[in-house]
Amino acid sequence: MDFPDELKYTEDHEWILMEEEVATIGITDFAQEQLGDVVFVELPEVGDILEAGKSFGVVESVKAVSDVYAPVSGEVVEINEELPDEPEVLNNSPYEDGWMIKLKLSEAIALEGFMDATAYQEFVEKD
């Protein structure tokens, strides 16, 4: 399993990459592995306002249907247009090609509230 060092992680198995005031968000390698083959992805619309901790989309696999939660609040400025047509990208490349949304933050956030790669790896190994 892969845990890129430049990302931050949530207990709900989302990852976040901060670049200036834009957060790129997706699901982790661990999450896609637990789900199995992803067959459907539902994403919000560009312009939607998301609230931290609330569901913003759905990932459906052959095993389960899971909500995906926004780790931060903000406005959706871009969605990965490829995912609804090619949901298997989440299985093949959850960090690079499988990013889900980009949010313009509504306020500055402290990344200390998220796990780094080492802490997240320890977290999933407890499950």
- Going along the chain from its start, the domains and CATH numbers come out as 8-109 (2.40.50.100)
42 close to 71: Cβ distance less than 8 angstroms: no
| CA-based nearest residue to 90, from 14, 9, 4 | 14
Question: How many CB atoms sit inside 10 A of residue 44's CB?
Answer: 18
pLDDT at 94: 96
pLDDT at 127: 65
Q: What amino acid is encoded at 40 in this protein?
A: F
pLDDT at 108: 73
Q: Which residue has the tokens 């207990």?
A: 11
d(CA 51, CA 54): 6
3-state SS, residue 50? strand
Chunked into runs of 10 residues, the chain (127 residues) has average pLDDT values of: 94 94 96 95 97 95 94 96 96 96 86 90 89
For 72-110, the three-class secondary structure string (H helix, E strand, C coil) is: CCEEEEEECCCCCCCCCHHHHCCCCCCCCEEEEECCCCC
